[in-house]
Amino acid sequence: MRELLMGDEAVALAAVHAGIGGAFSYPGTPSTEIFEYVAQQASKGEPVVARWSANEKVAYEEAMGMSYVGQRALVSMKHVGLNVAADPFMSSALTGANGGLVLAVADDPGMHSSQNEQDSRFYGQFAQIPVFEPSNQQEAYDLTREAFDISERFGIPVIVRLVTRLAHSRAVVATEPRAEARSRPRVSDWREWTLLPVNARRRFARLLELQPKLGDYATRSSYNQLRLRGPKGIIANGLANNYLNEAIGMDSDYSVLKLCVYPTPVPLVRELVGHCETITVIEEGYPFIERQLVGLLGVPGKRIRGKLDETLPLQGELTTEIVQKALGLPRATVAQCLEKIPSRPPQLCTGCPHCDTYSVIVEAAGTSVRPFFFSDIGCYSLAALPPYNAIDTCVDMGASISMAVGAAKAGAHPVVSTIGDSTFIHSGMSSLIAAAHDDLNMTVVILDNALVAMTGGQEVFATGEDLIKIVYGLGVPEEHIVRLKPVESAHEENLSLIRREIEHRGLSVIVSQRACIHAKRRAKEVPLRAPVEHALSG
Ligand SMILES: Cc1ncc(C[n+]2csc(CCOP(=O)(O)OP(=O)(O)O)c2C)c(N)n1
Ligand code: SF4
């Protein structure tokens, strides 16, 4: 079969065709569509479980559980999600995998919709497991299928790393017939998955013993391709190969190593370096290969060019034009035209409930003492901009409450934290327990818009009275759990209510309850598609 697929969809379909029992994820651009495509396949009758998880750590552990009992599992997330899942991820390299366990992680160079840039290849190296990095949608499909086989062959998890341009662009993909879903026998030795130090030492030794085999596998992989021609050498990773091919064409005299499977295939790198006088390393992401190549002292007699000597920029996405410039080739004119397009600042939708909530917070806060406004990641982060200017911090999911705890403990007042419902469930709840336990002098506003709006409107685990019950269950005094309806007609009432709770010398939680204006439309759509995609963070 041939299908027109986004990179994300190619990964999802490959996983379904590889016979996964389930897919687990927490939304985040540019990875969201991986899970949504699996969910779409499940709704068409594929025997696959697809359920959003409360956060990425939970998603990873759910996938581990499925692998442990012998079924194949896919877990997907955006790059910063892997920071949240890092704890089980790192230990899963020791437990290993039973049913194939594949982590699809989507990096966002250029920060199109993220709070930072990071390169997940380092996580693969850190955990000492294979990383597959497709250069196009066909490879996204093929390599994901191979990832499940390799995971089972070596008994370890495998990372499939995508980047935004690949995740969100489409190409025709030739697919293979679906494999029969097979369950592997249960793990017979309890010591494999029980990482008491005595077992963990043994499992770590096993992981170290695997390394030469993994290196050998990567060197032989047909996805790593070495083409020896002239004395000018190039190493390009994953998607960067597209920019390179566009810049130099297929018949150029450059010697090229196309790198898509890690651990780094050292013999191939050595062969290229031995053959060439200069090596230009073109990487989408950090200078990961380049650093390995240069080390502390460089390669005697060879010139290594790349991000470290500023031949290519250290920050942002690559483009064909950047690659052309790095190689001293004439620059295409397309980029010059694109540079002239004015940027459009993101905005909250007209009629958004967050607008009413923030206008009342700003008015209640007054002008004499500006509160310390701690906030979080979601559509509501846009309240950092005029006319609200009501956000002083936005760092990582869940940080608003924990940072407010730190500020309250330092004696600051007023301290106001704003957090969305999904972010609260993701990682705000655990911080609120401490605030409630010590009855800290701070005000938390939970923006309950009944869905995960910023990433396209996925469902939340708790909204309305269910959310109130969670807040109560975490120990917040009932008399300081306040419901607020963010509508213009209730403005005066809301104003006195927020003023009262900010003045209260203890913890208050105000739950602002009104659905996102896209909620009804979203409820009708299966599978879910994004009503808005903000350029701020997702
Ligand atoms: C660790 C991590 N995972 C996922 C994301 C992507 N992301 C950004 S905001 C957000 C949730 C926003 O939902 P909510 O808190 O309900 O606010 P809303 O957008 O609905 O206002 C997600 C999943 C992220 N930035 N960081
Ligand atoms: S998508 Fe919903 S929550 Fe986000 S800005 Fe628009 S109305 Fe507000």
The pLDDT tens digits for 167-220 are 999 999 999 999 988 899 999 899 999 999 999 999 999 999 999 999 999 999
Any atom of ligand 1 within 6 Å of the Cβ of 455: yes
Overall average pLDDT of the 312-320 stretch: 96
pLDDT computed for residue 524 by the predictor: 62
pLDDT computed for residue 533 by the predictor: 41
pLDDT computed for residue 525 by the predictor: 60
Would the pLDDT of 504 be above 50? yes
At 538, the pLDDT band (50, 70, 90 cuts) reads low
Rounded to the nearest whole angstrom, what is the distance from the C-alpha of residue 48 to the centroid of ligand 1? 25
Which residue's CA is minimally distant from atom 8 of ligand 1? 538
At 523, the pLDDT band (50, 70, 90 cuts) reads low
Amino acid at site 517:
I
**Are the CB atoms for 70 and 186 separated by under 8 Å?**
yes
Rounded to the nearest whole angstrom, what is the distance from the C-alpha of residue 207 to the centroid of ligand 1? 34
Lowest-confidence range among 113-117, 486-490, 524-528?
524-528
**Are the CB atoms for 304 and 279 separated by under 8 Å?**
yes
Q: What is the pLDDT of residues 216-272, one digit of tens each?
A: 999 999 999 999 999 999 999 999 999 999 999 988 999 999 999 999 999 999 999
Q: 500: helix, coil or strand?
A: helix
| Cβ-based burial of 304 (10 A; exposed 0-12, middle 13-18, buried ≥19) | buried
* Percent of the chain's residues with pLDDT above 70: 95
CA–CA dist 11, 408 (Å, integer): 45
Would the pLDDT of 526 be above 50? no
CA–CA dist 503, 399 (Å, integer): 23
Lowest-confidence range among 34-38, 416-420, 431-435, 528-532?
528-532
At 341, the pLDDT band (50, 70, 90 cuts) reads confident
Any atom of ligand 2 within 6 Å of the Cβ of 352: yes
Any atom of ligand 1 within 6 Å of the Cβ of 28: yes
Mean pLDDT score of the chain: 94
43: enclosing H helix or E strand = helix 32-43
Would the pLDDT of 534 be above 60? no
Any atom of ligand 1 within 6 Å of the Cβ of 398: no
- For 353-513, the fitting CATH number among 3.10.350.10, 3.40.50.11540, 3.40.50.970, 1.10.340.30 is 3.40.50.970
Q: What is the pLDDT of residues 265-292, one digit of tens each?
A: 999 999 999 999 999 999 999 999 999 9
508: phi then psi, degrees, rounded to nearest 5: -130, 145
Q: How far is CA 325 from CA 258, 305, 313, 320, 484, in A?
A: 20, 13, 11, 9, 56
DSSP string, 66-132: HHHTT--EEEEEEHHHHHHTHHHHHHHHHH--SS-EEEEEEE-TT-SSSS----THHHHHHHT--EE
Rounded to the nearest whole angstrom, what is the distance from the C-alpha of residue 156 to the centroid of ligand 1? 30
Which residue's CA is minimally distant from atom 2 of ligand 2? 516
At 365, the pLDDT band (50, 70, 90 cuts) reads confident
Q: Which atom of ligand 2 has the smallest separation from the CA of 378?
A: 4
> Nearest bound ligand to CA 349?
2
> Nearest bound ligand to CA 115?
1
Any atom of ligand 2 within 6 Å of the Cβ of 516: yes
Sign of the dihedral defined by the CA atoms of residues 153, 159, 164, 168, in that order: positive
Domain covering 225-338 in this structure, CATH number: 3.40.50.920
Any atom of ligand 1 within 6 Å of the Cβ of 233: no
Which residue's CA is minimally distant from atom 8 of ligand 2? 352
pTM summary value: 0.95
Q: Which of 449, 487, 537 to mutate to test the pocket of ligand 2 (most atoms within 8 A of CB)?
A: 449
Angle between the N-to-C axes of helices 491-503 and 353-365, in degrees from 0 to 180, rounded to the nearest 10: 50
**Are the CB atoms for 190 and 223 separated by under 8 Å?**
no
* DSSP classification of residue 458: B
Same fold, 225-338 and 353-513: yes
Q: Which two tokens stand for residue 433?
A: 């327990």
What residue has token string 């007209």? 350
Any atom of ligand 2 within 6 Å of the Cβ of 203: no
- For 2-220, the fitting CATH number among 1.10.287.130, 3.40.50.970, 3.10.580.10, 3.40.50.300 is 3.40.50.970
Rounded to the nearest whole angstrom, what is the distance from the C-alpha of residue 340 to the centroid of ligand 2? 29
**Are the CB atoms for 449 and 106 separated by under 8 Å?**
no
Overall average pLDDT of the 524-533 stretch: 44
Which residue's CA is minimally distant from atom 7 of ligand 1? 538
pLDDT computed for residue 338 by the predictor: 67
Would the pLDDT of 535 be above 60? no
Any atom of ligand 1 within 6 Å of the Cβ of 421: yes
Any atom of ligand 2 within 6 Å of the Cβ of 515: no
Rounded to the nearest whole angstrom, what is the distance from the C-alpha of residue 422 to the centroid of ligand 1? 7
Q: Which of 29, 113, 347, 349 to mutate to test the pocket of ligand 2 (most atoms within 8 A of CB)?
A: 349
Nearest Cα to Cα of residue 537 among 116, 245, 228: 116
Q: Which of 83, 452, 470, 528 to mutate to test the pocket of ligand 1 (most atoms within 8 A of CB)?
A: 452
CA–CA dist 387, 359 (Å, integer): 9
Any atom of ligand 1 within 6 Å of the Cβ of 453: yes
CA–CA dist 532, 538 (Å, integer): 11
Lowest-confidence range among 87-96, 115-124, 527-536?
527-536
What ranges do the domains of the chain cover?
A: 2-220, 225-338, 353-513
Lowest-confidence range among 27-36, 358-367, 376-385, 402-411?
358-367
Nearest Cα to Cα of residue 82 among 153, 14, 141, 157: 157
CA–CA dist 410, 156 (Å, integer): 45
Q: Which of 29, 350, 354, 357 to mutate to test the pocket of ligand 2 (most atoms within 8 A of CB)?
A: 354
Q: Which two tokens stand for residue 48?
A: 């696959």
Nearest Cα to Cα of residue 292 among 213, 239, 222, 215: 215
* DSSP classification of residue 453: T
Any atom of ligand 2 within 6 Å of the Cβ of 234: no
pLDDT computed for residue 213 by the predictor: 98
What residue has token string 């899963």? 92
Any atom of ligand 1 within 6 Å of the Cβ of 32: no
At 537, the pLDDT band (50, 70, 90 cuts) reads low
**Are the CB atoms for 178 and 16 separated by under 8 Å?**
yes
